[in-house]
Amino acid sequence: MLDTAIKAAKAGGKILMKNFRKEHHVHAKGLRDIYTNVDVASETEIKKIIKKKFPKHGIIGEEKGESNTESEYVWIIDPLDGTNNYQSGIDFFNVSIGVAKNNELIIGVIYDPVRDELFTAEKGKGAFLNGKKIKTKQRTVLNHCILSTNPASTLNKFKAAKYRRFWHKLRAPRIYGAKALELAYVACGRIDIYYNTSTFVWDVAAGIVLIREAGGVVKKFDGSEWNLGENEFIASGRAILPQVLKTINR
């Protein structure tokens, strides 16, 4: 399955690069949520590759909905994570593909076609960037850490209050606008902490596998284990997590 996920992610990435910085038909799904004809074309190609190899598997796609989600295996696809960046000509976007077995995440593939960086992980087998093993950073001091988050974490009054409790203690807070790729950056140590308050499953499925297989942790704000379908979480190296939880829950 990992090989198929890689093949599909690269095929989607090829479509993204072919159409990058060109005119697109833009459709609104919400106040800050859009999709383009390129999102749809990428998802169509990805699904085609998956269905050819695994016709009985379920698929959840951001743009074209769900099919056969009662299957033992379900593929979770974001054909263009970072659509706002993409549409604006900002080169920070990716293709994200996760696989769950009986609702447990087992495979994650994130492909950054701009930099030709392929992040892969399979449960129990480690996490890799272009074939080289990666690990989360194990920093122990908050003011040495780079944190990334999503806009919802800073716009909602209650959620913003939690965020403000510790953002000023960090080396650098960031909002990059492509959640899956940001999680991949946590997995390889470029970002120390990802603080999440609102999400869809296709945004995070692949990245969660990567972080766990890279030696990191994904926990809810109360410190309990995060499960597929839940919203709020902290993703980081193991060493810094206790400080993050203590700060946001004080």
Q: Which residues contact 138 (CB under 8 A, 6 or more apart)?
A: 215, 237, 238, 239, 240
Nearest alpha-carbon partner for 95 in 205, 175, 211: 205
Q: Which of 83, 110, 133 is the last residue of a domain?
A: 133
CATH number where 165 lies: 3.40.190.80
Q: Is 31 left (phi over 0), alpha (psi -120 to 50) or beta?
A: alpha
Question: Sheet harboring 127-129: ordered strands across?
Answer: 65-67, 58-61, 73-81, 94-101, 104-112, 117-122, 127-129, 132-133
Q: Looking at the predicted structure, is the pLDDT value of residue 161 above 80?
A: no
Which two three-digit tokens encode residue 36? 């383009």
Q: Identify whether residues 11 and 119 lie together within a single domain.
A: yes
DSSP assignment of 38-86: HHHHHHHHHHHHHHHH-TTSEEEETTTEEE-TTSSEEEEEEEEETHHHH
Q: Which of 118-127, 132-141, 167-176 bottoms out in mean pLDDT, i.e. has the lowest? A: 167-176
φ and ψ at 127, to 5 degrees? -120, 145
* Residue range of the domain that includes 164: 142-248
Q: Do 101 and 221 sit in the same domain of this protein?
A: no
Task: Say what the pLDDT of residue 29 is.
Answer: 56
Q: How confident is the model at residue 28 (pLDDT cuts 50, 70, 90)?
A: low
Q: How far is CA 103 from CA 21, 71, 72, 111, in A?
A: 37, 10, 8, 23
Number of domains in the chain: 2
Residue 84 and residue 13 share a domain: yes
Is 183 found in the same domain as 80? no
Q: Are residues 189 and 213 in the same domain?
A: yes
CA end-to-end span of the chain: 43
d(CA 19, CA 129): 25
pLDDT digits (tens, 9 = 90+) for 130-150: 999 999 999 999 999 999 988
Domain end among 74, 100, 133: 133
The span from the CA of 139 to the CA of 136, in Å, is: 9
Q: Is residue 160 domain-shared with residue 244, that is, in the same domain? A: yes
Same domain for 166 and 205, yes or no, is yes
Are residue 67 and residue 173 in the same domain, yes or no?
A: no
Distance (Å, whole) CA 127 – CA 208: 11
Sign of the alpha-carbon torsion through 169, 174, 180, 183: negative
pLDDT in tens, 34-49: 567 888 899 999 999 9
Quick one: 80 and 164 in the same domain?
Answer: no
Over residues 195-211, the mean pLDDT reads: 91
Residues 193 and 243 in one domain: yes
- Indicate if 167 and 241 belong to the same structural domain: yes
**pLDDT score for 62:** 65
Say which CATH number the domain at 19 has.
3.30.540.10
pLDDT over 80 at 179, yes or no: yes
Q: How far apart are CA 249 and CA 242, in angstroms?
A: 11
Instruction: Give the pLDDT confidence of 68-86 residue by residue, as tens digits.
Output: 678 899 999 999 999 889 9
DSSP bridge partners of 174: 148
34 plus 126 within the same structural domain: yes
| Final residue in a domain of this structure, among 133, 159, 188 | 133
